Amino acid sequence: MVSYQPKDLTTAKLHSYLLSAVAPRPIAFASTIDADGKPNLSPFSFFNVFSANPPILIFSPARRVRDNTIKHTLENAEAVNEVVINTVNYNIVQQMSLSSTEYPEGVNEFEKSGLTMLKSDLVKPFRVAESPIQIECKVNEIVRLGNEGGAGNLIICEVLKIHISEDILEDNGSINQEKLDLVARAGGSYYSRAKDGFFEIPKPLTTLGIGVDMLPEFVRKSSVLTGNDLGILGNLAVFPSEDEIDNYLNTSEEYGDLSHTDVLGIDVHKRAKKCIEQGHAKEALIMLLANNKK
């Protein structure tokens, strides 16, 4: 066994060990709003429930290890003292991951991730309409654990109202855990689906993904593509060029075979979905754009 004291490791290395050791962790998909009313949405896996009476949830936006800056969520919680904590199930995990991209201040992560803003009943921040459980909270206290990179900031939230999708409720009012299908965070690029175990999602691009909001409407409203598919497409660094689309139209034998028999484009969308699942998101988007252009 190899043993360390915290002082023996860099903060980044210690952070990595802790995230792998304390896992899987529930995810607080936190919606906040700044003093000017601009919404923000970001996931945090330093999170749990700590009391039922009073009902208390705590999550922690840590100071960034690389440059010791703080996150917009913390700034907003300080300014407005309200937050909505949305649960993350498998159906929205890719969109949740995309929302963690560090877009500039003022960029609406709801729009970038293709998720729907739903007005809350008691607090100013919006709920995530696609989340199966949405919890409106007031911020009772913020506890700062340090001033250096990696230091946590405990946002202690009191539950004001909880919204639960009827789709996950049993007749007796209890939550069906399998239908809820929660996702948790682990170390590195690993997540854990409660009923299936570990899987990987590549970390969002440091160069910023184009976002779901940049995809054409016919892609966003596809009857075949899921929210997770759109989240993967939104994490592409660059939108395909006209030359790439034209080249695909002129050279792809597979597309030619599909397009002659697929008047409504459904088969093309199904093929694009398969490409996404195989890790070829850019090729999938080029195929969809080419089909719309022909």
**Which fold would CATH assign to domain 6-200?**
Pnp Oxidase; Chain A (2.30.110)
Q: What is the pLDDT of residues 190-226, one digit of tens each?
A: 999 998 999 999 877 667 889 999 999 999 999 999 9
Q: What is the pLDDT of residues 270-286, one digit of tens each?
A: 999 999 999 999 999 99
**The most confident of 28-42, 206-220, 247-261, 262-276, by mean pLDDT:** 28-42
Q: What is the pLDDT of residues 58-94, one digit of tens each?
A: 999 998 888 888 899 999 999 999 999 999 999 999 9
Rounded Cα–Cα distance for residues 86 and 68 (Å): 27
Lowest mean pLDDT among 2-16, 34-48, 254-268: 254-268
Rounded Cα–Cα distance for residues 141 and 81 (Å): 9
Domain boundaries, the chain: 6-200, 212-293
DSSP 84: E
Question: Counting Cβ atoms within 10 Å, is residue 73 exposed (0-12), middle (13-18) or buried (19+)?
Answer: buried
pLDDT of 181 strictly over 60:
yes
pLDDT of 247 strictly over 60:
yes
Q: Collapse the DSSP code of 107 into the 3-class scheme (helix H, G, I; strand E, B; otherwise coil) and give the result.
A: coil
Round the average pLDDT of the chain to a whole number and report it.
92
DSSP 182: B
List beta partners, residue 184. 192
Rounded Cα–Cα distance for residues 49 and 233 (Å): 33
According to the model, what pLDDT value does residue 205 have?
Answer: 60
